[in-house]
Amino acid sequence: MDIKTLRSVTGGVTTIDPGYKNTGSCESAITFLDGEKGILRYRGYSIEELAEKADFLEVAFLLIFGELPNKAQLDKFHDDIKKNSIVDEDVHKILDAFPKSAHPMGVLSSLTSALTAFNPSCVNVDSEEDMYQSVVRLLGKFPVLVAWTMRKKSGLPLDYGDKNLGYVENILKMMFKEPNEEYTQSKILVNALDKLLILHADHEQNCSTSTVRIVGSSHAGLFASISAGISALWGPLHGGANQAVLEMLEGIKADGGDTKKYMAKAKDKEDPFRLMGFGHRVYKNFDPRAKIIKVAADEVLGDLGVEDPILDIAKGLEKEALEDPYFVDRKLYPNVDFYSGIIYRGMGIPTDMFTVMFALGRLPGWIAQWREMRLKKEPIGRPRQLYVGETLRGFKPLEER
């Protein structure tokens, strides 16, 4: 079909915009991002202020419902989440069926999708109350699935932690508590995780969030939409970059720590190697989250008494890139994933769980975007294409081909 015919079919102009680099898919009142100035705000509040003063559950409430909660609203929200945190026994069996070698993102995506089967009332959500019930169920059960995915890999029995703890404190307990052992969450770890989760909580129409909105636009339920978002996040060009960064830094260290060699590889167009954790589709001067995380990496590793040579390699690469015309001309700066893996590693979280931690942080943003899309009764997402294949041809029977 030529462009003229395509226009007559679409009733106007069809723009071809691979990667949607210039296409807005919706109007949204959740997250403001100015890539030139390096500004990120959730519902009008700067990311710097939220990371310093708020906790993750307050930010989740803010993103989903539009305002910071007062004490009574926050307590009710947390209570409703806690009441809904029990995961069906049969979901344990599904988890058991996965090989220990399975990537945690695949496991998490499957378990999240499976939740639909055990919570059928969460599929057809027409009222705000129905939506609320889906939201608190997911916020209750998702950290349990995250923690259990990690425990299965570490060979630990499943655990619900302690519901009397704060949301983030309990996530750490569910992840790390050894059997028959008192586990007290270190304040340093709680603060660090709170900050990391807040910094990842939303980022407007990125690949995984657009996926959540487009799947949700068919009125598939919340859990199915989030499961699709997890799969989108898994890729190394998106959330999977935090795992890829650490593997890259480990590789450079094992290869003698020669950062210049890897800078040269990243610039060589014949070499598929890219400097993971560098570059961003929207930020063209700096990623404000990376600035906060870089400082946090120093603080957290210092507080925990961890000396990690990987941090020095990362800083070395950043310094070289900031002075290198290839990176400067293309406006390639460290993104949120460049330092986050180093902090997760300092916290004792295995490398293949890093992207799962990203999903845990991004969950409120995905939920907020799904809820906004449903409340605004947005139409089903359905991009057009420009067909460039064969014109009409006759069918040849098998024996003639």
When the beta carbons of 237 and 328 are compared against ligand ACO, the nearer one is 237
> 71-103: string of b/e by CB count within 10 Å (b at 16+)?
eeebeebbebbbebbebeeebeeebeebeeebb
Does 357 interact with ligand ACO (rule: CB under 6 A)? no
Beta carbons of 51 and 59 less than 8 angstroms apart: no
Which amino acid, 165? Answer: L
| 363 near ligand ACO (CB under 6 A) | no
Sequence-distant (≥ 6) Cβ neighbours of residue 340 within 8 angstroms: 196, 199, 200, 242, 293, 354, 357, 358
**205 contributes a contact to ligand ACO by CB under 6 A:** no
Closer residue to ligand ACO, CB minimum distance, 135 or 342: 342
Q: How far apart are CA 149 and CA 102, in angstroms?
A: 10
Evaluated on CA atoms 156, 185, 354, 302, the torsion sign reads: negative
175 binds ligand ACO per the rule CB under 6 A: no
Interface with ligand ACO, residue 281, by CB under 6 A: yes
Buried b (16+ CB within 10 A) or exposed e, 111-141: bbbbbbebbeebbebeeeebbbbbbbbbbbb
Among 30, 230, 276, 293, binds ligand ACO (CB under 6 A): 276
- Choose one: 94-102, 138-146, 154-162, 237-245; the region binding ligand ACO (CB under 6 A): 237-245
For the CB of residue 257, give the shortest distance to ligand ACO in the complex, in Å: 19
The amino acid present at 203, given as its one-letter code, is H
* Whether residue 159 lies in the annotated active site: no
* 176, 223, 278, 354: which one binds ligand ACO (CB under 6 A): 278
- Which of 269, 262, 257, 246 lies closest to 341, judged by CA? 246
Instruction: Considering the complex, state which of residue 274 and residue 315 has its C-beta at the smaller distance from ligand ACO.
Output: 274
Residue in 216, 279, 361, 365 binding ligand ACO, rule: CB under 6 A: 279
Active-site position among 280, 287, 312, 324: 280
- Smallest gap from Cβ 102 to ligand ACO, in A, equals 23
Element (H, E) at 60: helix 56-65
- Catalytic pick from 55, 194, 202, 337? 337
Q: Does 337 bind ligand ACO (CB under 6 A)?
A: yes
Of residues 177, 142, 100, the one with CA closest to residue 358: 142
Map residues 3-42 to x or -, x wherever contact with ligand ACO holds by CB under 6 A: ----------------x-----------------------
- Annotated catalytic, 126? no
Q: How far apart are CA 257 and CA 314, in angstroms?
A: 10
**CB nearer ligand ACO, residue 166 or residue 235:** 235
Lookup: tokens for 230:
């997890």
**Which CB atom, from 17 or from 79, has the smaller least distance to ligand ACO?**
17
Give residues in contact with ligand ACO (CB under 6 A).
19, 237-239, 241, 266, 274-281, 330, 332, 335-337
